[in-house]
Amino acid sequence: MEIRPLSRDEVRQIDNVAIEQYGITGLMLMENAGSGAARLVNEIAPAGKVAILCGKGNNAGDGYVIARHMELLDREVKLISIVDTESLTGDAKANFQIADRSKLPIIAAADRVRLAQELTSADIIVDCLLGTGATGSLRGLFADAVAIANQTDAIRIAIDVPTGIDCDTGQIMGEAFCAHETITFVAHKLAMQIPECHQTFGRIHVVGIGASKTILQRFA
């Protein structure tokens, strides 16, 4: 069903209703989102080495799910974490642990030099650094990762929203991941309707998370 563009608060509402009223766990929602995104990444870029940039929130958790499903599609994939994975919590931590136990390559990029080495060797870069909840300017390795990724010749795919753009207002938070394609969950976000932001989002695809029609129809 068609859903109107959503704000970050409405995205949270959908997640909360699915979890608290319908008993769909956060892990289930993340699995549905990540597996659907992986299939789309494979369709968008059916060949080449995939690097998935991960931060520390649920967007990173999506990245760990995507990597696992990309491997099942026989793709060469690596995860690049720009945070200490010991700091992960909740569903992101759970999916990191699954990826780690599955022996997926998880690279700790603790400085700009290592980031550049790992990103310049990739054919496809998937942005799972920050999601819809992010506000404020990018700092440190988050800013470095975005700047380096934007300078590569790789196909750049953002998950949910490109890192560095406010999903409600479209404001660029210092620098934004300049995506060729954005795979967003449930529905378009408000900023995707702003013409000046189209260059940052690229082509937009929508993937479901398994929330039922009775939840989503409130936002139709």
Q: At 145, which CATH number?
A: 3.40.50.10260
Cα–Cα dist 175/135, whole Å: 12
Residue 87 lies in a domain: yes
Mean per-residue pLDDT, 139-163: 98
pLDDT at 173: 84
Average pLDDT across the chain, whole number:
97
Residue 77 lies in a domain: yes
133 labeled part of a ligand binding site: yes
Domain extent at residue 165:
8-219
Cα–Cα dist 135/111, whole Å: 23
> 108: pLDDT confidence band, cut at 50, 70 and 90?
very high
160 labeled part of a ligand binding site: yes
Residue 84 lies in a domain: yes
Token look-up 């979890």 returns 19
Q: What is the pLDDT of residues 173-205, one digit of tens each?
A: 889 999 999 999 999 999 999 999 999 999 999
102 labeled part of a ligand binding site: no
Mean per-residue pLDDT, 143-160: 98
pLDDT at 45: 98
Residue 3 lies in a domain: no
59 labeled part of a ligand binding site: yes
Mean per-residue pLDDT, 143-156: 98
> 101: pLDDT confidence band, cut at 50, 70 and 90?
very high
Residue 60 lies in a domain: yes
Q: Percent of the chain beyond pLDDT 70?
A: 100
Residue 40 lies in a domain: yes
Asked if the model's pLDDT at residue 219 lies above 90, the reply is no
pLDDT at 165: 97
pLDDT at 1: 80
pLDDT at 54: 99
Cα–Cα dist 189/140, whole Å: 26
163 labeled part of a ligand binding site: yes
137 labeled part of a ligand binding site: yes
Q: What is the pLDDT of residues 35-87, one digit of tens each?
A: 999 999 999 999 999 999 999 999 999 999 999 999 999 999 999 999 999 99
> 98: pLDDT confidence band, cut at 50, 70 and 90?
very high
Mean per-residue pLDDT, 93-97: 99
Residue 1 lies in a domain: no
What's the angle, vertex CA 201, arms to CA 5 and CA 156, rounded to 5?
A: 140
pLDDT at 88: 97
Number of structural domains (the chain) is 1
85 labeled part of a ligand binding site: no
184 labeled part of a ligand binding site: no
pLDDT at 174: 87
Residue 33 lies in a domain: yes
> 220: pLDDT confidence band, cut at 50, 70 and 90?
confident
Cα–Cα dist 174/100, whole Å: 32
How many CA atoms lie within 13 Å of 81's alpha carbon, on the beta-carbon side? 23
94 labeled part of a ligand binding site: no
